[in-house]
Amino acid sequence: MPVNLNTPYLPPSIRGTVSVSSYGTPRFWATVWSDVLKTSLEPSTRRKHLAALDRLYDAVQRQHGKDCLDQLIADADADAIEDCLIGFLAQLRNEAAVGQIDKSSTWTSAVGFVTDMLRYAGNASGVRASEMEAKLLRLDTLYRQLVPNPETPAPPVRALPPFVIEDLYEIFRPDSPRNPFKTETLRWRNLLIFMLLLRLGLRRGEAALLYAASFKEDFDPELGKTVHWLDVEETNDGDPRYEQPSLKTEMSRRQLPLSSELVELAQHYTANFRGRANYPHLLMSQKAKPLALRSFGKMFDVATDALSEEAKQSLRKQGLTNVSCHDLRHTSAVIRMRRYQDAGLDVDKAQEKLRVFFGWSKSSDMPRLYAKAYFETSLAEVWDEKFDTFVDALRRTIPENDHK
């Protein structure tokens, strides 16, 4: 299983996630693959790849009765490894059919690892090299085309329905009788998380990376006023969390403009509820440590339970069972796409602006998907009108001296 080596007793160059056997010893070829051949991987991507390789190692151990994948690769036994891949594919297909879960990324990681390491370990010359290259070509051309997933219908549009957004505003308002969070500190912190994810479309990991100092401002002489923005960047030096957050792609590093209301909310939370901490992170746990990634999901599970029955029914009609962090990102993207189109931008220009704002890579299909998504007028109205009402309530709740 992947283990996160994150201790000050190790030099920074060897910290990070590694794959280990059931005895706790590093798996040789998995370590070579991730540390030598795949050095540019982001931490979150590295962890996903290693988790997939762990599943392959475990499958080979069950097939052979011993943990022998490293030995098969060292022997460059392409035939035996091909048999292992066939068994692993059958396992993934069964899991995908039973659970209706996408297993394609696990399979892609496994095939890429096997072909890379056979080429690396089986490096030779002469006839053996020709034979090995032929086997590798077979593995690469045949197995990369196979998929473990059953045919599934297209996923539903995951923008939250208007009634659900309106209900969430009420649930997260700190002085609301429907707010399910016990302490005032939790209420203000969770409100800030909700607003960052909904209004800016941040990913869960991006929000977890934020420092208190990530909020920036400067005077713009052309506009004649102070402008505010948020730096979204890697900030995980000295991060004590077992599951460390990270940016998904290089394009995820970006600067997002901020409204004065969101700035005031962040300042109020930081000054009154974040507390004195030994870490620079913005969002802190009750134990004064950076908030764990899993806590984000738990927070929205609690919020989902607090939804009215009408809102829950609206959620089910949308094909959703609960509110997740990523649902807020989808909702933010749908609304922003609508805004760009209302401003008179053509589809291509709107998609490009969407790509920059949400940190999608140039090859990502996400902007195209949102360009095709439905845009409900009622959803846009809730976005504006409910937020205006919400801001008025916040201004009455935040002490006057916090605005100065």
Rg of the Cα atoms in the chain: 24
Domain spans of the chain, in order of start: 2-143, 162-403
At 127 the pLDDT is 47
DSSP 8-class letter at 160: P
CB–CB of 211/280 below 8 Å?
yes
At 162 the pLDDT is 85
**Which residues, including other chains, have CB under 8 Å from residue 33's CB and lie 6 or more apart?**
53, 113, 116, 117
45-95 per-position pLDDT tens digit: 888 888 889 999 999 999 999 999 999 988 888 888 888 888 888 888 888
At 1 the pLDDT is 61
At 203 the pLDDT is 95
At 107 the pLDDT is 87
Q: Name which of 297, 364, 368, 371 is nearest 328 in CA terms.
A: 297
At 133 the pLDDT is 67
d(CA 327, CA 320): 9
Question: What's the angle, vertex CA 336, arms to CA 330 and CA 342, rounded to 5?
Answer: 140
Write down the residue that tokens 């036994």 correspond to: 77
At 395 the pLDDT is 58
Which residues are registered as beta bridge partners of 215?
Answer: 230
Give CA separation, 173 vs 179, 195, 237, in Å.
7, 11, 33
pTM for the whole thing? Answer: 0.66
At 284 the pLDDT is 96
d(CA 346, CA 320): 31
At 337 the pLDDT is 82
CB–CB of 183/397 below 8 Å?
no
253-310 per-position pLDDT tens digit: 999 999 888 999 999 999 999 988 889 999 999 999 999 999 999 999 999 999 999 9
* 162-403, CATH topology level: hpI Integrase; Chain A (1.10.443)
List, as own/partner pairs, every contact residues 370-377 make where C-beta atoms lie below 8 angstroms and the sequence separation is at least 24, other chains included. 370/333, 370/334, 370/337, 371/337, 371/347, 373/157, 373/159, 373/334, 373/337, 374/157, 374/159, 375/334, 375/337, 375/338, 375/341, 376/162
Supply 93's token pair.
Answer: 């297909």
At 399 the pLDDT is 56
Write down the residue that tokens 């030779």 correspond to: 124
**Which residues, including other chains, have CB under 8 Å from residue 93's CB and lie 6 or more apart?**
103, 148, 149, 150
340 backbone φψ class: left, alpha, beta (φ>0; ψ -120 to 50): alpha
The ranges of the chain with pLDDT < 50 are 125-127, 154, 374-378, 401, 403-404
